[in-house]
Structure 1
């Protein structure tokens, strides 16, 4: 019995083991064969792999929605052609037809980055304007239009958010937020590519439909849309007009005449003749005019060369920042944050550097007049000063009217050149009459040119006061004191009466539209509100001329020179950084008026102190650096650089196709390029136009001398680099020194 039981147990165990082994084997075989089948299947599908695509139904829903909305709007009879072409484009877009996809692909599907200050949604301008089939299929032509949009909140917020950037609050708080720099985040400019038959009203409809179906339409924002500029049509380039050909002809003639006269002067250099004809030809000589740029004066004011050019570099950097910031940037919020940093404090009030040029201009005028035994004919002085200012000025205005529109293209180009070209074509004569800062200043040609009439007005009034002082000293002194007090008080009084800010800062509203702010027209560009710095310069120059009358320049000890220069730099730093703080404080009319009256005179007085300490004493490092010889020719080209640099900056900014990332190193690189290019342009204008014209003018106004005297003058001029010749008459001395105040003047907005 026991044997039977043992046998049954052993038999059962064997059966179980056999089943397990068999099942395991079968499982292994199944797994192996399954993997082999999967591998073979995957291997075979490599040749015909199908990737996951977008859901066609979803895209059709979006386009069907757009089609439905467009069809059910109230279109006028004039708008029907646009509606038909737009609907045709959308239906072909659903079928993925190339011409329709091409046009739609050039439009930004929806605004992006506006909460970070990216105002310009430009899409792809060149894709819209340069489709390869426009010549063969004119019916498919498109146009590029700019729609300006203002987003308005429709809900009524219970209270204004304390922190607009609270991530758990509504994004509407950010849209209606305006930073101290006054950059609005609820405004955008959207570039759209539409059929060429569409009128502005139809473009506004399409932009509204697209905006409503973007993420900005989620809360029912109300959008005010306007297409105010003319749309740019494909294959319709700007035509060359008579002004363009006139400018090219004048420029070509100037170059040819100058080169011929230079060759003749070289050919006749050993000739003993020096008649009027030879002098006229020599007036165009490139070598002679280039050498004049290298001449130093013997007035002991060599530090002015460095001050002039370096101040001009600061002006260019300020305009580079301002014009770039007013254009398309992708990080506007970050730029505004940086503007409130230490470096930004300097940028917001760097316009005060302009008063350096008023100060230096008045200083050099007084230094020349103060050394004269008798006054020359003041009307001749006025005419010569006018001609010194007007030649390069007229060339730049002519260039803006005739050539500048043809130097670029882009989504914002037509808008940008219209702001410069149209006022110049209409009001150029106001600029040439030196009244553009008073008459129709809202449409001033070349915004930065406000400086030129101011400087000329200052020269005329100051020379008349000095003439009165020389004729009637007591009356002249009383008149000078009264004018100085009025010049100091006028800016503060105007600011107080009109409740204006202390200064005109480079905030967004100003750099994006410099002709717009009322303060720009009331106090910033008017001669009677900017006169104090020039008068301080004239008084400083007159004192300097009296001190140096004996010929001994070193009148201040080294210790006092260093102390004076240190005090000067500290005062300039304080004036620069104190102005922008008015952005953060509550407005106080009296405080603003006092600062408006004193900040520019204090700056000018500080620069005058620095010039005095360096010229009548010695300030280690500073004197040598500011007197460095390369500053001499560069300082004489700052006038042309000033007139031309904003044109270069605007061209670089408004040919852009997309917003760029704005940072300090990018601005610095661009600024250096503008300085180099602008200096080269100023050199060309000086050598080929300005210097020849002024040389001929001086020959016509100067008394004729005998041939022997002319020969002797030429021999002596070849052995000296001094501008002032002791053999010249008193009027000749003034003639040589007054222009130095003109060659180096600069300006800004």
Structure 2
């Protein structure tokens, strides 16, 4: 076997660059004739026998994704000419052409362990100023080793599914190629399909190349520059305001403070507020801070695991088998942790309303709604602004268009839905920042809550019956929808992306389906309100023990009861899913209710002490920002990954990534969240001065004056007596001020 026209070293270079990429279609030398002959001989002897039909199919797939890929027959003249020129230059050992070919994804090892995401070399391709494309292939007829190649289909998907939120590659193959920059996705897809037809008798391969999955250095930025400039200007103003306010706040020589609106942005002031663990509010329930922390942590790990499933692993089948054990039910039932947040929202909202009704006999709904908007909107707008106009332009990678750019495009179209908190009324696939759906539900339930709480306060018996019926109706909605549409509230083994999306659209993001636990929160707040003026709740040790056993049993039933859904080979049962969808929120929130009740009245033991740990207050102030920033961080790392990794269970605990989330959450809270809450208080105080603030201010001023008088009184006993008389006058005047404040 010789190489008559090329030196041996050149034959080796050409072989390494082109084998598994372009083959004999690119170079017609005797080297490739010999290589292909050897390859055919090996396949005929080992792969293409009746007992190894699947491996023969793999060989055919290798041909489709590795040979004849360049669109030399494209209708696009420029693309066709550039492709032919690239082939000719490769024969001449042109470095540019060899780099293009060398960057293509090659048929890999560990295919039977799920290594079917082949990015090739993204950076090598784009540095040649050519176009990198990540194509998708579906292999419906590959059956013999299908469960190994596709990692047991832990998530089932089709070509029609949207992959910007849930990974597609557990039923599909993704392959990176490099083509001339003049070629489009249409040109490449046409060439691929033409090549696939000659092998379709063995594999039935389907090929898709999306325009968004093709990237070149010369392409315009994913997000328009004008939007990016506006976004940078907004963030620049925020940062400048914070710096200016902080410098002014640190100026100890300034006798008078500057504009109160500007001082809302002081980092010094807001840092103290963020880290304050001593100040208590009468409406606070300390153990809820711990419940919020644990629920947020569970959701963080669940979301992180979903992010890991986008990544290419040379042992993806190991990932599927590890998560196919009973313990993974803890993550698959993550929906109950979102129920916990809905329950706490109903509890705290109702508690606040009931306290206001007790003081005033009426509700200031307008003021409450404005406060709610100031609480939710600034952070949400800041994250949308960043994710839409800045985030897509700061980096790139093979999966960047799928997990970052797609979200940006959706936000450019539909961000207004988020601004009005109605985005959860629209399909999940067409939602700006899908993880913010909970905000829409929470706002809608909040808007309904004043009427519900007022009726419960005014007409307790009839309203309680009405609320129970409403909760039962919401439960029935979940059950019926799950039965009728084959929904899955659990991410069971083998669940399809279409089923998850259908579950989200028809139940998960609908407030009418999630209202049960919100109403439970209202009832719990009403119970605490009734107990407020009574003697402390006394329970025997037997009662406490029975309560914990009962509560833990219900909680564990909701958390790990459906453990069989996590096992490899699970077959979906709509009745089982419907029962879980209907009753798991009730079971889980009953457990939380007991944990909160026992901790609130001092029967929580070590768990109550843990949940009431004062430093959880800091996390509570950061929780909203952590909720908003975690997915952008996860998707940044997914989008910039450019090579296959080795999966380990420890990948779930990426503390550097968690550190970035924490840092961004602190920044968002200090720059946006707390300043706008301060600004809301300033604006409301100008419209209607708060009586409490007037009294506190007068107390403070009187205290300073009293101290000065006492200092003067140290000169002589006569002066001290005079100071005491003046103190008495001050106390009388302070009482008058309180009376004035009360009348106001």
TM-score (norm 1): 0.77
Partner of 1:149: 137
1:650 to 635, 643, 653: 635
Partner of 2:515: 531
- Is the counterpart of residue 663 in structure 1 residue 648 in structure 2? yes
When residues 564 and 235 of structure 1 are mapped into structure 2, their CA distance, relative to the original with a 3 A threshold, is same
User: Aligned-pair distance for 1:236?
Assistant: 4.3
Task: Look up the SS of the partner of 1:617 in the other structure.
Answer: coil
1:169-180 equivalent positions in 2, closer than 5 A: 170-171=144-145, 179=153
User: Aligned-pair distance for 1:209?
Assistant: 8.2
* 2:392–2:408 CA contact under 8 A, matched in 1: yes
- Structure 1: distance between partners of 2:573 and 2:74: 57
When residues 79 and 532 of structure 1 are mapped into structure 2, their CA distance, relative to the original with a 3 A threshold, is same
Partner of 2:302: 318
* 1:192–1:207 CA contact under 8 A, matched in 2: no
Task: Look up the SS of the partner of 2:134 in the other structure.
Answer: strand
When residues 587 and 667 of structure 1 are mapped into structure 2, their CA distance, relative to the original with a 3 A threshold, is closer
- Is the counterpart of residue 426 in structure 1 residue 409 in structure 2? no
When residues 533 and 662 of structure 1 are mapped into structure 2, their CA distance, relative to the original with a 3 A threshold, is farther
2:524 to 519, 537, 540: 540
User: Aligned-pair distance for 1:268?
Assistant: 6.8
* 1:488–1:601 CA contact under 8 A, matched in 2: no
User: Aligned-pair distance for 1:452?
Assistant: 0.4
Larger Rg: 1
- Is the counterpart of residue 233 in structure 1 residue 216 in structure 2? yes
When residues 556 and 210 of structure 1 are mapped into structure 2, their CA distance, relative to the original with a 3 A threshold, is farther
- Is the counterpart of residue 517 in structure 1 residue 490 in structure 2? no
* 2:353–2:363 CA contact under 8 A, matched in 1: no
1:363 to 342, 347, 356: 347
- Structure 2: distance between partners of 1:72 and 1:652: 29
- Is the counterpart of residue 436 in structure 1 residue 423 in structure 2? yes
Tell me how large the CA RMSD over aligned residues is.
Answer: 3.8
User: Aligned-pair distance for 1:95?
Assistant: 3.8
1:450-465 equivalent positions in 2, closer than 5 A: 450-465=437-452
1:689 to 642, 648, 672: 672
More deviation in 426-435 or 289-298? 289-298
- Structure 1: distance between partners of 2:479 and 2:628: 29
User: Aligned-pair distance for 1:264?
Assistant: 3.1
Partner of 2:334: 350
User: Aligned-pair distance for 1:690?
Assistant: 2.2
* 1:296–1:632 CA contact under 8 A, matched in 2: no
- Is the counterpart of residue 182 in structure 1 residue 120 in structure 2? no
- Structure 2: distance between partners of 1:476 and 1:72: 69
When residues 504 and 444 of structure 1 are mapped into structure 2, their CA distance, relative to the original with a 3 A threshold, is farther
Offset from partner CA, 1:434-472 (integer Å, 9 cap, x none): 111113543111011110011111222122111223344
Partner of 1:249: 233
* 1:366–1:545 CA contact under 8 A, matched in 2: no
Partner of 1:43: none
* 2:114–2:148 CA contact under 8 A, matched in 1: no
- Structure 1: distance between partners of 2:606 and 2:507: 37
User: Aligned-pair distance for 1:410?
Assistant: 0.7
- Structure 2: distance between partners of 1:675 and 1:694: 26
- Is the counterpart of residue 97 in structure 1 residue 79 in structure 2? no
Partner of 1:42: none
Offset from partner CA, 1:455-495 (integer Å, 9 cap, x none): 11122212211122334445433332221221222211221
Equivalenced residues, count: 639
Task: Look up the SS of the partner of 1:392 in the other structure.
Answer: helix
User: Aligned-pair distance for 1:423?
Assistant: 1.0
2:265 to 256, 274, 284: 284
Higher RCO structure (Cα 8 Å, ≥6 apart): 1
User: Aligned-pair distance for 1:656?
Assistant: 0.4
- Structure 1: distance between partners of 2:670 and 2:411: 25
Task: Look up the SS of the partner of 1:323 in the other structure.
Answer: helix
- Structure 2: distance between partners of 1:459 and 1:675: 31
- Structure 1: distance between partners of 2:350 and 2:300: 28
2:436 to 442, 445, 449: 449
When residues 484 and 74 of structure 1 are mapped into structure 2, their CA distance, relative to the original with a 3 A threshold, is closer
- Structure 2: distance between partners of 1:348 and 1:639: 23
- Is the counterpart of residue 192 in structure 1 residue 177 in structure 2? yes
1:564 to 539, 547, 550: 547
Offset from partner CA, 1:178-217 (integer Å, 9 cap, x none): 545437766211110111222324323555688899xxx6
User: Aligned-pair distance for 1:532?
Assistant: 1.0
When residues 187 and 716 of structure 1 are mapped into structure 2, their CA distance, relative to the original with a 3 A threshold, is farther
Task: Look up the SS of the partner of 2:355 in the other structure.
Answer: coil
Task: Look up the SS of the partner of 2:174 in the other structure.
Answer: strand
Partner of 2:698: 712
* 2:343–2:589 CA contact under 8 A, matched in 1: yes
When residues 699 and 201 of structure 1 are mapped into structure 2, their CA distance, relative to the original with a 3 A threshold, is closer
- Structure 1: distance between partners of 2:439 and 2:543: 36
* 2:151–2:317 CA contact under 8 A, matched in 1: no
- Structure 2: distance between partners of 1:465 and 1:72: 64
- Structure 1: distance between partners of 2:703 and 2:135: 63
2:119 to 115, 118, 122: 122
Q: Mark the runs of 5 or more structure 1 residues left unpaired by the alignment.
A: 1-49, 132-140, 155-163, 165-169, 719-726, 734-749
User: Aligned-pair distance for 1:94?
Assistant: 3.5
When residues 173 and 521 of structure 1 are mapped into structure 2, their CA distance, relative to the original with a 3 A threshold, is closer
Partner of 1:28: none
User: Aligned-pair distance for 1:361?
Assistant: 1.5
- Structure 1: distance between partners of 2:14 and 2:116: 33
Task: Look up the SS of the partner of 1:78 in the other structure.
Answer: coil
- Structure 2: distance between partners of 1:236 and 1:74: 20
* 2:71–2:83 CA contact under 8 A, matched in 1: no
Partner of 2:24: 64
User: Aligned-pair distance for 1:153?
Assistant: 2.3
1:488 to 465, 475, 488: 475
Partner of 2:584: 599
User: Aligned-pair distance for 1:111?
Assistant: 5.0
Partner of 2:723: none
Offset from partner CA, 1:586-623 (integer Å, 9 cap, x none): 55444432221101111111111111111112333212
2:206 to 224, 232, 257: 224
Task: Look up the SS of the partner of 2:131 in the other structure.
Answer: strand
More deviation in 308-317 or 175-184? 175-184
- Structure 2: distance between partners of 1:474 and 1:247: 52
TM-score (norm 2): 0.77
Task: Look up the SS of the partner of 1:403 in the other structure.
Answer: helix
- Structure 1: distance between partners of 2:626 and 2:737: 31
1:463-478 equivalent positions in 2, closer than 5 A: 463-478=450-465
- Structure 2: distance between partners of 1:173 and 1:664: 21
When residues 256 and 221 of structure 1 are mapped into structure 2, their CA distance, relative to the original with a 3 A threshold, is same
1:378-389 equivalent positions in 2, closer than 5 A: 378-389=365-376
More deviation in 475-484 or 333-342? 475-484
- Structure 2: distance between partners of 1:72 and 1:461: 58
When residues 120 and 717 of structure 1 are mapped into structure 2, their CA distance, relative to the original with a 3 A threshold, is farther
Task: Look up the SS of the partner of 1:326 in the other structure.
Answer: coil
Partner of 2:681: 698
When residues 509 and 195 of structure 1 are mapped into structure 2, their CA distance, relative to the original with a 3 A threshold, is farther
